[in-house]
Structure 1
């Protein structure tokens, strides 16, 4: 692990963010690739994996984003928390707007439950767009952390950025699976199901590069940008991930998956950051 961190320290931060999110995209593709080996999915395991993804996102929002953002903010007391509060609210508002505009369909929901503006798009596209919503703040978070390291802010470390990328990569595995397998069950070919699954994470490297470049160009926005990514991620967890795990009869299993994901992400961030 130290070799990986040392390698990223030698890279341009924008390039480092791009490489890190290529990894998270690749793990999404691995999850989608399960469609080549299985004909169906165990619902209890699937809900546990979705819960795990939610736990990782919540832990990352605090340990990797909000806490460093507050630490590097100027001032004391209430003044010190203002950038985090403003950024968090803006991030949630941004995802709220996308959720209302972008046509999409959450995993485990019926087609008549699709959200966003009315669209004739097929369920395959709507499912892909739903997971893409998850991935925008995740890619942005990784990019912002890499940009913060380049800007020399206390609290932003390469180890922390790598830990965040690893955690997001792990929780992307079930997201690729969540798109590919339902499509396969609807009669799509294995190859087409896989392509839709991996395509959902293509936005992560794009968001990461934008986030890193923005922070490096406008350094004072870093505390706001970290909190923005956190607010967007928490919105996704509450609006999408948690409800998706509550549609079946395995809510307890999903909850334990959430706890496991939180513990793992917290451990990675503290241990590597």
Structure 2
């Protein structure tokens, strides 16, 4: 069990630290490349949909029956829908910040910018808190996936990592505008990603080491529901907004094809003693 926790922690760190990549988009470039971020979201959505429906939900229904598998799946959907309802995730809106800068410049330059900085900084902090709370169940999903096998945990970590890049932008953008500090923007964005390994630690101590196989399959079905809701509610709309519908749909199917290929390559390349 300890080794499984360590593997899950390592995988969740990959996902969590990808918020730092998003912060780099902000501090290294004057404006984030929104089309690229949208394509990444479409690609990640394809990965996530494949994992949700063709892997987690499919295996749950095969293992514990169609009815039970569906009940677990929709329990996951309802759980994450409640999370989103009570803690709505702030969206990335660099265009509004750019307008704010322009407006400030038109009405007195530095004085107006100073007046708005505290409000924008508060917005960045609230965004970081909201994203951190969203990252907790994602870390839990990576841990439960790792219990099933390396393949499931690895695929979840990859898809979540791609999803977290725009989240890093959403945190870093207002903080950088408010403080003019690249370090502060990078630091707060990175800290918001550490909620993912924290989610692993929490769930690792909630579940016993000898988890009933039927319960594990059910929980993984619920993780499929969480991932499906996350994809359809947050990732696809962002992809459509920033990359355009046609390009985003292409990225989704490319992501699905990539996931199918990765599943096959992992299956034939991993040593037999390593669980898939």
TM-score, structure 1 normalization: 0.74
Is this contact kept in 1: 2:19–2:168, CA < 8 A?
yes
Which structure has the highest helix share of the two?
A: 2
Alignment of 1:98 with 2:83, yes or no, is yes
Alignment of 1:168 with 2:160, yes or no, is yes
In structure 1, the partner of 2:69 is 84
Alignment of 1:261 with 2:255, yes or no, is yes
Alignment of 1:141 with 2:132, yes or no, is no
CA deviation digits over 1:156-195, x for unaligned, max 9? 3323333432343344334323432465456653222223
The residue correspondences of 1:198-217 to structure 2 (distance < 5 A) are 198-213=190-205, 214=207, 216-217=209-210
Q: Which has the larger radius of gyration?
A: 2
In 2, the alpha carbon distance for the partners of 1:166 and 1:52 equals: 11
In structure 2, the partner of 1:107 is 92
Is this contact kept in 2: 1:41–1:181, CA < 8 A?
no
Return closer, same or farther for 1:125/1:255 CA change in 2, 3 Å cut-off. Answer: farther
1:195 aligns with one of 181, 187, 191:
187
In structure 2, the partner of 1:30 is 21
2:151 aligns with one of 154, 159, 168:
159
In 1, the alpha carbon distance for the partners of 2:130 and 2:252 equals: 20
CA deviation digits over 1:10-57, x for unaligned, max 9? 962122211221222223323322333111122222211222222222
What are structure 2's unaligned runs of at least 5 residues?
Answer: 98-119, 267-275
TM-score, structure 2 normalization: 0.73
Higher alpha-carbon deviation: 201-210 or 232-241:
201-210
CA RMSD of aligned residues (A): 3.1
Give the Å deviation of 1:85: 1.0
Alignment of 1:53 with 2:44, yes or no, is yes
3-state SS, counterpart of residue 105 of structure 1: coil
Q: How many residues align?
A: 242
Give the Å deviation of 1:203: 1.9
Return closer, same or farther for 1:95/1:56 CA change in 2, 3 Å cut-off. Answer: same
What are structure 1's unaligned runs of at least 5 residues?
Answer: 1-9, 74-79, 112-119, 148-155
